[in-house]
Chain A
């Protein structure tokens, strides 16, 4: 874990030396625009995703065939995801070291990984499930499980994202050694 944390820290400290990273960090408008765009894109992508998930659970637009709904909503959903990922990376680029050592961002990335696997499994099940249930109110149970997991994971991801703003577990606040290891704090590191 220490080697891993050191690698992450070295990478983040290297990013921090970039002129553009500093410019973004000190900018009067661009940082704020990126931050707002990240949140607006989130409402688009998760709005679409949750509608698809709720349709699978029979809780939204049950009179529309599930495959039709999923097909129509996935373009705006992926558009939102793309903007969200780009702006998210830029937010990291602006404040690399503190972000890399954020306990919340680390939890968020694990949850994002889980959500990605869940989405991949969901689409595989969707392909193999056939069309027989398409007009039924609820999707097959396996798809319902995936849809519920998707909603739960994304709610947690958004909460973790919001909590990155708070400094309770920042390395500067000298958290317990367990938290410090999870957050990736390096002993006697330079303060950023």
Chain B
């Protein structure tokens, strides 16, 4: 009887945690909108090569000539290095193209925010810039995704 009670007591928080996890465990679904894919072409203005996530800031010029500041989240410096990019790969002023998903918070203050999936350099080289297993849509950008 005591064993059953103990088991129930241990399973209860687990069940609560599970339902909570389904909503918010993955960094991706908590902050980013899988229904809002973006493709950004712009010029790098700032690079934060930091844990737990690197950030690439870029100015994106629209068709009407206006410039919008974006900040794109990448993986950890470690995963990015393994993927083939380091801090010196994206010096300020570099033209890049980033595909990713916009943040759920679309106020764009102080900059529009997105989760980066892949990064294409002007010479056509493309690297995966996200993290695996975050719950981001399987859009083919992550070479480790199993189909």
Contacts and interface: CB of A to CB of B under 8 A. Distances in A.
B6 A32 contact: no
A27 B52 CA distance: 10
Nearest to A165: B27
Contact of B52 (A28, A35, A155): A35
Interface string B72-112: 00001110010000010000000000000000010101100
Contacts of A60: 6
B77 A26 contact: yes
A54 B6 contact: yes
B52 A31 contact: yes
B109 A28 contact: no
B78 A173 contact: no
Contacts, number: 49
Nearest to A166: B30
A145 B69 CA distance: 54
A32 B13 contact: no
A172 interface: yes
A79 interface: no
Give the interface SS of chain B, mostly helix, strand, loop or mixed: helix
B19 interface: no
Nearest to B78: A28
Contact of B31 (A27, A35, A54, A167): A167
A178 interface: no
A68 interface: no
A59 B49 CA distance: 48
B50 interface: yes
B22 interface: no
Nearest to B109: A174
Contacts of A167: 31
Interface in B27-69: 27, 30-31, 49-52
Contacts of A62: 2
A59 B6 contact: yes
Top 10 A-B pairs ranked by shortest CB distance? A31-B51, A28-B78, A25-B50, A59-B6, A28-B77, A166-B30, A26-B49, A26-B50, A174-B109, A25-B51
